[in-house]
Amino acid sequence: MNRYLDVLLRLSIWFLLTADISLANSLIGLCIALLLPRSVTRPSALKEWVRIIWKIIIAIPQAYIEAIEMMIRPHYYEEVVVEKVKPNRTPGLIFLDIFLITFTPKTIVLNYHKDGWYAVHYCTRKMSRSNNSDRVNALAK
């Protein structure tokens, strides 16, 4: 089942990159998705895939709400926060986690550290009380 989800994810990325769903392009994308090498990792549970896809579906209206909110009430402050990656994530799920964070207008992943951390940039309306810049700088080295 995970093999099909990996192919579906790769094919979705292909369609997003090419913006063409013609038969010829679909066949080329399918061939590329099948020929790309797979990494040897723990197979992810279907439950994790369903959960992250549900979060992406919920994030679509949230992204519109945040975009309108940023136009009405500008966000003048920024902060960079270091967040821990959820344990036992496959590369496909890590990609979808990063996509989910970056999809909304107020956040973007600046860096993914192999030791299990994301550096996330947030736009906020108020100044943050905590400053994680020292930790971000330490991880960036």
User: Which residue ranges make up each domain of the chain?
Assistant: 1-38, 41-140
Which residue did the predictor score with more confidence, 78 or 3? Answer: 78
pLDDT digits (tens, 9 = 90+) for 66-76: 999 989 998 88
Is residue 140 over pLDDT 60? no
Q: What are the tokens at 58?
A: 């919920």
What's the pLDDT score for residue 74? 86
Helix/strand/coil for 140 = helix
In the chain, pLDDT over 90 holds for what percent of residues? 20
Tell me, letter by letter, the H, E, C secondary structure of 75-121.
CCEEEEEEEECCCCCCHHHHHHHHHHHHHCCCEEEEEEECCCEEEEE
What is residue 93's predicted lDDT score, i.e. its pLDDT? 83
| Element (DSSP H or E) covering residue 20 | none
Look at residue 1 and tell me whether its pLDDT is greater than 60.
Answer: no
Q: Letter for the amino acid at 115?
A: D
pLDDT of residue 138: 46
What is the rounded CA–CA span in Å between residue 88 and residue 114? Answer: 13
What does pTM read for this prediction?
Answer: 0.61
| Side-chain half-sphere CA neighbours of 86 within 13 A | 14
* Secondary structure (3-state) at 77: strand
Per residue in 21-48, pLDDT tens? 899 999 999 998 888 877 665 556 777 8
